[in-house]
Structure 1
Amino acid sequence: MSLLARCFALCLLFAVAACSDDPRQHKGMVATANTHASDAAAAILAKGGSATDAAITAQLVLTLTEPQSSGIGGGLFMLHYQGADASITTFDGREKAPLSADETLFLKPDGKPMAWPDAALGGKPVGTPGVISALWKAHQKFGKLEWAGLFEPAIELAEQGFAVSPRLHAAITNASHLDSDDAAAAVYFLGDGDYDEPNVAVPVGHILKNQPYADTLKLIAANGLDGFYKGSVAQAIVNAVRSNEVNPGLMTLADLAAYEAIERQPVCAPYRAYKVCGMGPPTSGGLTSLMILGLLEPYQLAKLEPDGLVTAHLFAQASRLAFADRNRYMADADFVDVPVAGLLDRQYLRSRSRLINPVRDMGSAAPGLPPGSVEDTLAADAGLVEHGTSHLAIVDRDGNAVSMTMSVERAFGARITAGGFVLNNQLTDFSFVPSKAGKPVANRVQAGKRPRSSMSPSLVLNGDGSLFAVVGSPGGSRIIGYTARALIGLIDWQMPVQDAVSQLHVINRNGRTELEDTAPGSDLAGTLNQFARLAAPLADLGHTVEVKPLTSGLHGIRILEDGQMDGGADPRREGTVVEVGGKK
């Protein structure tokens, strides 16, 4: 056999990547909010793991190193792109209300709603966690490495410890009542044996260890779903929820045993030459961000300045209109008839877009009547709170991708822990008031219902169905605006991902127009403070303007025409981008 023939045979036998001209077979990329998570996920890719495998490892590490934002005691939404056939699968791991809950959950004895800070503390606001169920379901379908092996990096880091970052230290310091939970105090605070006063937040650089969390991970690694939803971990969750002295909750072992993450259809819509896909209800994020894009599509944004007055005005107006519909129609589609197709109907969006006055703020927008909806049967409810959230973007060597947003709701969730991890307060994402003016609120509390979210993990596809970009963000209901603006940056202005996730924020949730500012001395202060120059011109157009810090946590990856990858991590947080084989 000739030398050429032998080389050809070897290529066929081993499918050696070096014999291919397609560079996408050579690389993987990870973008997460924490360097430990990014490094651990990249190591999984380097071992031949899939994007799903890497996402699982990243979330387990983030539960340890960024506990204020997400964790196995919370929920998630995942979009998975399969490179082989350009298909998209979504996993809904959103928390659920206990089976014994009803619309009076957050009403006081006099029928008035609880104050949000009171409702968000303790056991009452804890929804049945969905992260482990969603990760298990995704691994069953798209995992390549063994389940238990994906837990090893987080277990090792929990036992050996990691240096507390400035952001984690600040979050602990600002988390009122967290030190009231004895288990949390043992991990996140130093007592008077080390300092002159008790319960001082662990300082920057302190080596934080979490053996209870490592023990929990070992049980889940060995026993799968049963390691979390049954047995000692489940009992610890129920005990923490029901025995809370301040605000006892309703969760039972039956609620945990009955929980199952759901595969749902993605919501997709064309935008320019691309197709943008997101999560459908119970999150409002995918629909609302797609509506913003559809409302702006008649405008030639590519010819406008990204940080200009006209762009900011148009974006705020489209956001007003989209949020008006979000607040009325969107909730858990298993309980409410959400007119998904009607809200994305191109003729409907064109008709709504014509309501935009190019030289005047429209003021508070009224909801429309999308095809498939019934007029005046639901009351609007804003529901704008959600802060303890994180996002990751991963592409593996086979061209598969994960866009995943995870949350415990506010920073450190309900401020209680079980098994070494933080429990969420996601039930406060429900409307506390079940009806208004005799009409039911779509997002009212109901037994077994998932509360409405704003999480917006997104995928962008080229016209041929190939992957163009992976993007998403934390940030409460502002997630929708953060994500939509990043998508416009990637598509209309063809920005590199780092530029798209770093650009200035303008947000309108059908109220004030918020312009981004940062504290003096911030790495971004020199750039972002300049955005305040638009405050006066926007006010002249009728906007009520507020200039304030807007701390997104956008992470994304873009696939270039030559197959190379371009990643970005939001400089407002502590995220990093890692390419398999080296840091980007």
Structure 2
Amino acid sequence: MHFKLNSLFAIGLCAVTLPTIAKPTQVETREPEATTAIVQKQLVTGEKYMVAAANPYASKAGQQILAKGGSAVDAAIATQLVLTLVEPQSSGIGGGTFMMYYNKANNKLTSFDGRETAPANADETLFLDKHGKAVKWIEAVVGGRSVGVPGILHAFANAHKQYGTLPWQELFKPAIELAEQGFEVSPRLHGLLARQLNPGVLSMPVINEYFYPNGKLIEAGTIKKNQPLADLYKDIAKQGIDAFYKGDNAKQMVNAVQHSKIAPGKLSVQDLAEYKSKERDAVCIEYRAYNVCSMAPPSSGGVAVLQMLGLLEHKDMSALKPNGEKAIHYFSQASRIAFADRDMYMGDPDFTQVPTKELLNKDYIASRAKLITEQDTKAVAGNPVGYLSYAMDDSYELPSTSHVSIVDAKGNAVSMTSSIEMAFGSTVMVNGFILNNQLTDFSLSPRKNGKLVANRVEAGKRPRSSMSPVMVFNKDGSLRLVVGSPGGSRIIDYVAQVVVGVIDWDLTAQEAINLPRTTNRNDYTSLEKGTALEAIAPALTKRGHNVRVLDLNSGLHAVEVKNNTLFGGADPRREGVALSDLTDKNATIKF
């Protein structure tokens, strides 16, 4: 497989106009992966297959696998292996994933939980100082203490065993070739490094040397090689995931975590050897004439997205102007209510009683929908079961994540969101990949007002996540839409807004992705800076909203199925592209 290093926003392929460079915008403390450029994109059409991912190299790898007859699972694996290399700030084999898989032949929908777990020696005091108080957020993030057991490769092996078509080794070839021959450092990767958003990149020696060779930051356009990662990929390709979870690589990960220059951690060889991904049933809800499905807990995002849609079903959104003042108001109120329940009840269902069915119960949602008035109102958690009493969460979930949407030639589909959490993760780097800091997705404080927090640290537990891969189905069970996004806890609103755009406002996937973003996590109403939404800020303020105009950095990728044709969409806020069987397979890669 050959990647041409000339110009692939030539692979933006007739689908991209000239970029508009975004001016520096307000970036909140705990949202470090910001927009670096806006590149307007058009809908991409396909007849057989489609892949949409966050970097052209990654999309190209997925396209090549699909062209060889690979399944959606095969393409997702190959795409992610390349993302580990070319988009290391967002996701990778040192992190985790939620992958939804739809098998058209048997009309089956399932999901794979490759979420990280807390080490066996971790407990609820992990992020407490000597006075029993939660440490500052940035102190929790950087270094070995925040590293959970990576789960993505185990989930890949599990999914490939059941739904893979091409040999396992074949899936590694694009990433190995790129790592050895070199990839072009993108403007986004350079820009995020230049902003120095994660102090660990400058403080931790291995990652610092990788991104600052000879003390100088790598420039956009530099051809960057990663032989350690290529060597590890060769081992995993030949030996399977034992080459990652056992042996030399496992020992090196443990050594790097336990002897981290900053905040040594608790990861052990036994933790790695005993990790297991899980196959889980998806959660679904009827919305209008469709069935919308997402990831079950420990994803909080899936339930929250579905709750929002259930609440909005009580409003005639199709009669409202897309992104108009009234539509944004109702959307924000539905989000407030969903977030109130999310912050109270969501956690790892293997450790905590999570009332998923009750939260999605039609009668419960109908009762909650009555709370949506014409004025902005802070929501409080409901009481869907009557016998659970938890404290509110204080975890900080960050937006350094990636999403891949794929439909293969047989009509099977993958909606996969993956993450290492903070931009550049824990900044602990081993064998060419970055380890996650996902343990900071737990509540830093295990108790509030004498009550236990559902999402507290416990040994072997999966932290709550907002990752919300979504699939939408027609009433006859056929696939309609595959979508998801990075964005930390804002993922929930990003994804829900696209679903509303496609279903209620009859927008194409690309048009819905292009919509100016808005979020409300039961705190304030964010409107995307530099967009038409700024004009409705005064009207929302009159409704009682605390409005903030911010850089909202979604990274939505979608595949829409309509009239037996595939339509791919990629977010203009990031550098991803959608590629199909109709896209030039010899197009070159350039940013």
TM-score of the alignment, normalized to the shorter chain, above 0.5: yes
| CA contact 1:50–1:142 (8 Å) conserved in 2 | yes
| Cα distance per residue 1:292-339 (max 9 Å; x no partner) | 000010111111011211001000100001100000000000001100
Q: Which residue of structure 2 aligns with residue 18 of structure 1? A: none
- My pick for the range that moved more, 247-256 or 24-33, is 24-33
* Partner AA of 1:342 in structure 2: E
Q: Which residue of structure 1 aligns with residue 209 of structure 2? A: 186
- Of 108, 120, 126 in structure 2, the residue corresponding to residue 105 of structure 1 is 126
CA distance, structure 2, for counterparts of residue 25 and residue 330 of structure 1: 38
Counterpart secondary structure, 1:582: coil
Counterpart secondary structure, 2:116: coil
CA distance, structure 2, for counterparts of residue 487 and residue 118 of structure 1: 37
| CA contact 1:187–1:208 (8 Å) conserved in 2 | no
| CA contact 1:82–1:400 (8 Å) conserved in 2 | yes
2:233 paired with 1:217: yes
Q: Which residue of structure 1 aligns with residue 361 of structure 2? A: 345
| CA contact 1:342–1:373 (8 Å) conserved in 2 | no
- Of 309, 312, 317 in structure 2, the residue corresponding to residue 301 of structure 1 is 317
Q: Which residue of structure 2 aligns with residue 29 of structure 1? A: 50
CA distance, structure 1, for counterparts of residue 394 and residue 327 of structure 2: 25
Shift of 1:26: 5.3
Counterpart secondary structure, 1:335: coil
CA distance, structure 1, for counterparts of residue 46 and residue 193 of structure 2: 42
2:540 paired with 1:553: no
CA distance, structure 2, for counterparts of residue 542 and residue 436 of structure 1: 29
Q: Which residue of structure 2 aligns with residue 322 of structure 1? A: 338
Shift of 1:25: 11
Q: Which residue of structure 1 aligns with residue 106 of structure 2? A: 85
Larger Rg: 1
| CA contact 1:25–1:397 (8 Å) conserved in 2 | no
Equivalent residues in 2 for 1:138-149 (5 A)? 138-149=159-170
Query: CA distance change for structure 1 residues 108 and 25 in 2, over 3 Å: closer, same or farther?
Result: closer
Q: Which residue of structure 2 aligns with residue 368 of structure 1? A: 382
Shift of 1:469: 0.5
Equivalent residues in 2 for 1:26-425 (5 A)? 27-173=48-194, 174=196, 175-191=198-214, 199-357=215-373, 359-362=374-377, 364-370=378-384, 372-375=385-388, 377-425=389-437
- Of 537, 540, 543 in structure 2, the residue corresponding to residue 541 of structure 1 is 543
| Cα distance per residue 1:102-140 (max 9 Å; x no partner) | 100000111111101011010000000001000110000
Shift of 1:374: 1.4
Q: Which residue of structure 1 aligns with residue 9 of structure 2? A: none
Alignment TM-score, normalising by the size of structure 2: 0.90
CA distance, structure 2, for counterparts of residue 426 and residue 409 of structure 1: 6
Shift of 1:74: 0.3
| Cα distance per residue 1:487-526 (max 9 Å; x no partner) | 10111112111101111111100001111114xxxxxxxx
CA distance, structure 1, for counterparts of residue 247 and residue 581 of structure 2: 38
Shift of 1:583: 5.0
Counterpart secondary structure, 2:70: coil
- Of 518, 521, 531 in structure 2, the residue corresponding to residue 509 of structure 1 is 521
Shift of 1:552: 0.1
Structure 1: runs of 5+ lacking an equivalent: 1-23, 192-198, 519-527
Q: Which residue of structure 2 aligns with residue 479 of structure 1? A: 491
Shift of 1:568: 0.3
CA RMSD of aligned residues (A): 1.3
* Partner AA of 2:83 in structure 1: L
* Partner AA of 2:409 in structure 1: R
CA distance, structure 1, for counterparts of residue 386 and residue 442 of structure 2: 21
CA distance, structure 1, for counterparts of residue 209 and residue 181 of structure 2: 16
Counterpart secondary structure, 1:104: coil
CA distance, structure 2, for counterparts of residue 295 and residue 514 of structure 1: 20
| Cα distance per residue 1:246-299 (max 9 Å; x no partner) | 200000000000001000110111000000000011110100000000001011
Q: Which residue of structure 2 aligns with residue 568 of structure 1? A: 569
CA distance, structure 2, for counterparts of residue 137 and residue 500 of structure 1: 33
| CA contact 1:183–1:420 (8 Å) conserved in 2 | no
Shift of 1:554: 0.3
| CA contact 1:327–1:383 (8 Å) conserved in 2 | no
Shift of 1:581: 3.7
Equivalent residues in 2 for 1:514-529 (5 A)? 514-518=526-530, 528=531
| CA contact 2:296–2:303 (8 Å) conserved in 1 | yes
Shift of 1:185: 2.7
CA distance, structure 2, for counterparts of residue 216 and residue 566 of structure 1: 35
| CA contact 1:43–1:580 (8 Å) conserved in 2 | no
Q: Which residue of structure 2 aligns with residue 462 of structure 1? A: 474
- My pick for the range that moved more, 286-295 or 385-394, is 385-394
Shift of 1:382: 4.5
Shift of 1:373: 4.5
Structure 2: runs of 5+ lacking an equivalent: 1-44, 586-591
